[in-house]
Amino acid sequence: MNELAVQRNAVIELMRISPVADQLAARFAAAGHRLYLVGGSVRDALLGRLSPDLDFTTDARPDQVLAVVAGWADAVWDVGIAFGTVGVTKDGSQLEITTFRADSYDQVSRNPEVTFGDSIDGDLLRRDFTCNAMAIELPSKSFVDPHGGLDAVRLKVLDTPATPQESFSDDPLRMLRAARFVSQLGFEPAPRVVEAMTSMAGEIRRITAERVQAELSKLLTGAHPRLGLELLVDTGLADHVLPEVPGMRLAIDEHHQHKDVYQHSLTVLDQAIGLERKEDPDAEPDLVLRLAALLHDIGKPATRKFEDGGGVSFHHHEVVGAKMARKRLRELKYSKEIVEQVSQLVFLHLRFHGYGKGEWTDSAVRRYVTDAGPLLSRLHKLVRADCTTRNKRKAAALQRTYDDLEARIDRIAAAEDLAKVRPDLDGNEIMKLLGLPPGPLVGQAWKFLKELRLDRGPLEHDEAVAELRRWAAEQGIAGPDQGTPG
């Protein structure tokens, strides 16, 4: 199929699913303004990734855009109007309409000094990558591609309309966006883009942590996160935004061999994603699992110790790694929930290796489940993904052992409802039996009974009461009918 046919088919298909674009174009034309479908909407149509969310650009100024959509749009929002963007919803589609831009940047922060432009060519020149610098003029539906964006999409090459140095100097966030598009689209960056990213990596420090985090999250939840991460590490960008990852590239001593921790971690990430997709091919990407897989061994460099005889140990690297993961994710402004979930998975990822050939007691199995809590399904995937040995016999043995652990969890859970492990007596019963008011002593008694429940499984009510009274006597706490200890 020739180039014109590809363009025409993409445009026809996009318009077929988005009739609101024709309606909007008619309103702009009637008001004497030009309108173009632009950027990611066009790129995704060419890639067969159709979406009801569309981006437009126009010569109309923001107040004129508001006048054009008044009475037609189902809803309008103007939070981006200072940057020339008006948001619109219509018939289930979300539209963003932005006035032609000719921004300049202050070269200190990434904040643009907004200047509105007058031509589509000028607008496309200021866009981040050529694959996003294509437009469809409406209502004529003619294709506008002054920077070879169609070829970039066809060849899966990531390049910039202006020079990469100009583009990244204007907005260093674009360097992270390059890695994100590599992950999401599987594109390969042009050599000049890689060169500019490498020489300008330090400029990323101008970007806020919130914006960095947003791009990293999109990268990690893309289809090819390993490619995006490798680009960040190879160009030196990761040294500034996620230094623990390149920090795992440990020099291997010829007398003390161990796995390359960096490459191992990328392989664990790949395998975790494979397990995620195997469980549910249509599920949304699991950011928590992917972060945990990437960061599970970041404590190894700080804990590496060369042993006599050529061995290498990483004692307590899961403890150190959990603290490091928590610190880094907080600095990147991740939510408290994500920080705690990822750091807990890093902390627990090594626990299974004490299972041996099934030596754990039922109490140990209960504790494994209880400590994992709602993260248990993710922990299962992380532990299985962490097996990267090339020894097929060893790998199969590890997987069989974990199969056995999961089967034991299922058996015990069926009998005891492990998801809701609670003491056999609740707080009200504890207070009544011991004559205590609400306070720390009740919490201590509750914790004692929970530990007992984990160790011995469910207790009969009378047995739980007897154990509580025994514990209370040891603590010098008298029940309501036992007088005051002398």
pLDDT along the chain (486 residues), means of 10: 65 69 93 93 84 89 94 91 91 92 59 74 92 92 90 94 93 96 96 98 95 97 97 97 92 53 94 95 95 95 77 84 96 97 95 81 85 92 90 88 90 68 74 84 83 77 83 77 45
Tell whether 130 and 102 lie within a shared domain. yes
Is the same domain home to 399 and 440? Answer: no
Same domain, 367 and 458: no
Q: What confidence score (pLDDT) does residue 260 get?
A: 84
* 406/444 same-domain check: no
What is the pLDDT, as a whole number, of residue 486?
36
Phi-psi region of 92 (alpha: psi -120 to 50; beta: other; left: phi over 0): left
In a domain, 344, yes or no: yes
Residues whose CB falls within 8 Å of the CB of residue 467, separated by 6 or more in sequence, listed in order: 449, 452, 459
Backbone angles phi, psi at 119, to 5 degrees: -140, 150
Domain boundary among 155, 184, 207: 155
The count of domains in the chain is 3
Domain of 435, in residue numbers? 427-475
> Is 285 inside a domain boundary?
yes
96 domain-assigned: yes
Domain end call among 122, 155, 188: 155
Closest by Cα among 78, 21, 16, 8 to 53: 21
User: What pTM does this model have?
Assistant: 0.81
- Label residue 468 exposed, middle or buried (CB < 10 Å: 0-12, 13-18, 19+): buried
Amino acid 186: pLDDT: 94
Residue 355 within a domain: yes
Does 39 share its domain with 138? Answer: yes
Ramachandran category for residue 460: left, alpha or beta (phi over 0 → left; psi -120 to 50 → alpha) = beta
Question: Cα(358)–Cα(120) distance, rounded to whole angstroms?
Answer: 67
pLDDT, position 254: 43
Residues, the chain = 486
211 within some domain? no
Residue at which a domain ends, from 95, 124, 155: 155
